[in-house]
DNA sequence: ATACCTGGTTACTAAAAGTAAACTGGTTGA
DNA sequence: TCAACCAGTTTACTTTTAGTAACCAGGTAT
């Protein structure tokens, strides 16, 4: 019976992971919330104040409206942004980053720095 | 002609984004390199030293071998990990994080902290 | 022989990402 | 009044990615 780097080999030579990420590890769970395509960008674009739906879609240029809607719904569900109908007739909706959403900005900034530093 | 939060409205009332992320902004580009499913986890699991293919697959428990192979190839292409055949007959392959790969650990740690702090 | 180990590949299905177009309803300008 | 835009979606559809399970070649241990 031996152990090396989190892998156990039993007396029959069978190997087993000691701490398998059976249920996804923190990094993976985090990526599922923030790693979806466009999610980071949306949060980043909301950091300076509320933005209306179409303005957001335009700034994200490259993401279709459907994608933007879909990501916004997910971010809303995760409590990172809120949707607010500002006026009916003519309809106007703004999306705002929540206080909780703002806690991700550190992380996004780290990513941005990394990308810029290494010319990704 | 007016400007508000990066959106220009021309004298005809047509709106345009001033700095659209026409080609994906840093956050988006970074996510395309690090945000794929399992990529972060793989880098994280390699941080303490070289790991063999099957050990990695076991530790990631939940990712199939095909997924692990595929992500490793992408990380290799991005210069974040290296593949090394350590012995032929019996075959043994180890994956190592590169110096460049190590520059992502800050970012991954920030993510991990965020997830743990907010019980994601 | 049998059953496991190694590091993959193959063939296939399910889920996610993506597009372009349509829709309801309102405003603007000629 | 009519066309041409605005708003914020939704629909129908295609493409890409993620995912599973089975298999393979070559080797070792019982």
More confident call, A48 vs A90: A48
The CB-based long-range contact list for B74-81 (8 Å cut-off, 24+ gap) reads: B74/B36, B74/B39, B75/B39, B75/B42, B75/B43, B75/B101, B78/B33, B80/B33, B80/B43, B80/B104, B81/B42, B81/B43, B81/B46
A13, A69: one domain: no
The domain that holds B100 is classified in CATH as: 1.10.10.10
Task: Give the domain extent around B77.
Answer: 25-117
Chain A residues near residue B34 by CB distance under 8 angstroms: 111
Pairing of strands A2-4, A7-9: antiparallel
- pLDDT value at position A94? 95
Inter-chain CB proximity B104 and A112 less than 8 Å:
no
A52, A95: one domain: yes
CB B84 within 8 A of CB A34: no
Res A113 pLDDT > 60: yes
Is position B60 within any domain? yes
* Nearest residue of A to residue B18, measured between CA atoms: A59
A11, A43: one domain: no
CB B7 within 8 A of CB B15: yes
More confident call, A78 vs A8: A78
A51, A66: one domain: yes
Q: Which of B30, B58, B103 is facing A7, going by the closest CB pair? A: B58
Task: Tell me the two tokens of residue B35.
Answer: 């945000």
Question: Tens digit of pLDDT for each residue in B30-41?
Answer: 998 998 889 999
Residues of chain B with pLDDT under 50: 1-20, 22
A27, A44: one domain: no
Is position B20 within any domain? no
Inter-chain CB proximity B41 and A19 less than 8 Å:
no
Alpha carbon A97 to its chain's center: 13
Inter-chain CB proximity A17 and B61 less than 8 Å:
yes
Res A6 pLDDT > 70: no
- How many folded domains does chain A comprise? 2
- pLDDT value at position A36? 81
CB A112 within 8 A of CB B26: yes
CB A33 within 8 A of CB A76: no
A99, A67: one domain: yes
- B9 at interface of A, judged by CB pairs closer than 8 A: no
HEC string of B59-114 equals HCCCCCHHHHHHHHHHHHHCCCEEEEEEECCCCEEEEEECHHHHCCHHHHHHHHHH
In B 18-57, which Cβ lie closer than 7 Å to strand D? 36-38
A26, A48: one domain: no
A52, A72: one domain: yes
Is position B18 within any domain? no
Is position B62 within any domain? yes
Q: Any idea which residue has 């994601």 for tokens?
A: B120
Question: Tens digit of pLDDT for each residue in A98-107?
Answer: 999 999 999 9
Interatomic CA distance for residues A5 and B51, integer angstroms: 8
Question: Tens digit of pLDDT for each residue in A16-72?
Answer: 454 455 556 889 889 989 988 899 999 999 999 999 999 999 888 768 899 999 999
């Amino acid at each position: 019976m031996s152990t090396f780097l989190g892998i156990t080999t039993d007396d029959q030579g069978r190997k087993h992971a000691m701490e398998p990420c059976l249920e996804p590890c923190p990094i993976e769970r985090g990526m599922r919330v923030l790693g979806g395509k466009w999610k980071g960008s949306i949060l980043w674009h909301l950091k300076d104040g509320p933005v209306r739906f179409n303005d957001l879609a335009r700034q994200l240029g490259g993401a279709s409206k459907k994608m933007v809607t879909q990501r916004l719904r997910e971010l809303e569900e995760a409590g990172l942004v809120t949707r607010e109908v500002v006026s009916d007739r003519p309809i106007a909706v703004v999306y705002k980053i929540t206080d909780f959403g703002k806690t991700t900005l550190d992380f996004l900034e780290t990513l941005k720095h990394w990308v810029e530093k290494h010319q990704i």
